Copies of this chain bind each other. A is one copy, B any other.
Amino acid sequence: MTTEALLQALRWRYATKVFDPNRKIPAEIWSALEDCMVLSPSSFGLQPYRFLVVEDPALRAQLMPHAWNQRQIVDASHLVVFAVRTSITEADIDRFLDRIVEVRKVSRESLEGYRSMMTGMLLDPSFQPMAVHWAARQAYLALGNLLTAAAVLGIDACPIEGFVPAEFDRILRLPEQGFTSVVCCALGYRDETDKYARLAKVRAPREELVRHL
């Protein structure tokens, strides 16, 4: 991709406030966006999250009031709730190591050093209160990946932080699975009535944000 095409896509994107409720993302494109999320890198490779694609209209309607009634929740073609593990256990680490063995055809013993590094950090009692923050950072990385992937494919998106995680968690039965919701993303196609599409993008000056040392 050329730098100009990439920048054009990133300038074209904006936090879509009004989605066209009649336009659905084609299955093939949606499938690619799911693959993008799965391919997202994460700390140690542990992927301490799940991407919940809420398809059921009744479930979406139930979530909306807990997101300040933002209509993107129900109108967008697709809605992803990013849920993260609230703690990391030895079983999580071992399941991940089993996966490495499976994919890379290496011995379990060859991963002992890696295992010690992970258990040393992630199972340390001082880490437990940080686990959810650590996991949330990884989910936001995946969100950044998804937003950029959507932009280059010409898909509109709206990252949504304005919701009540406890209510989303209750409705989606996340606590009993050891997860909590941290951020959402609605995706689809902008409605032509969305006045936000025409507003100039506001960013701090580059020389303020980027410092050369």
A-side interface residues toward B, CB under 8 Å?
1, 3, 5-7, 9-11, 13, 15, 28-29, 31-32, 34-41, 43, 45, 47, 49-56, 59, 96, 99-100, 103-104, 133, 136-138, 140-149, 152-153, 159, 161, 172, 182-183, 199-204, 206, 208-213
Chain B residues positioned under 8 Å from A212 (CB to CB): 53, 55
Evaluate contact between B203 and A39: CB separation under 8 angstroms: yes
Evaluate contact between A200 and B104: CB separation under 8 angstroms: yes
Decide: A1 near B1, CB < 8 A? Known: A38-B210, A54-B213: yes
Chain B residues positioned under 8 Å from A140 (CB to CB): 137-138, 140-141, 144
Evaluate contact between A209 and B6: CB separation under 8 angstroms: no
Chain B residues positioned under 8 Å from A153 (CB to CB): 1, 3, 6
Evaluate contact between B6 and A32: CB separation under 8 angstroms: yes
Evaluate contact between A103 and B200: CB separation under 8 angstroms: yes
Residue of B nearest to A15 (CB): B41
Residue of B nearest to A36 (CB): B10
Given contacts A99-B202, A141-B159, A145-B148, 19 further A-B contacts (CB under 8 A): A1-B153, A3-B31, A3-B32, A3-B153, A10-B36, A10-B39, A34-B210, A38-B204, A38-B209, A41-B147, A45-B202, A45-B203, A47-B203, A50-B208, A52-B211, A56-B213, A141-B147, A144-B147, A144-B148
Least distance between A40 CB and chain B CB atoms (Å) = 7
Chain B residues positioned under 8 Å from A52 (CB to CB): 211, 213
Among B9, B39, B54, B142, which residue has its beta carbon within 8 angstroms of that of A11?
B39
Evaluate contact between B133 and A136: CB separation under 8 angstroms: yes
Decide: A7 near B39, CB < 8 A? Known: A55-B212, A99-B202: yes
Chain B residues positioned under 8 Å from A149 (CB to CB): 6, 10, 148
Among B45, B50, B144, B206, which residue has its beta carbon within 8 angstroms of that of A210?
B50
Among B100, B147, B200, B204, which residue has its beta carbon within 8 angstroms of that of A202?
B100
Chain B residues positioned under 8 Å from A206 (CB to CB): 34-35, 38
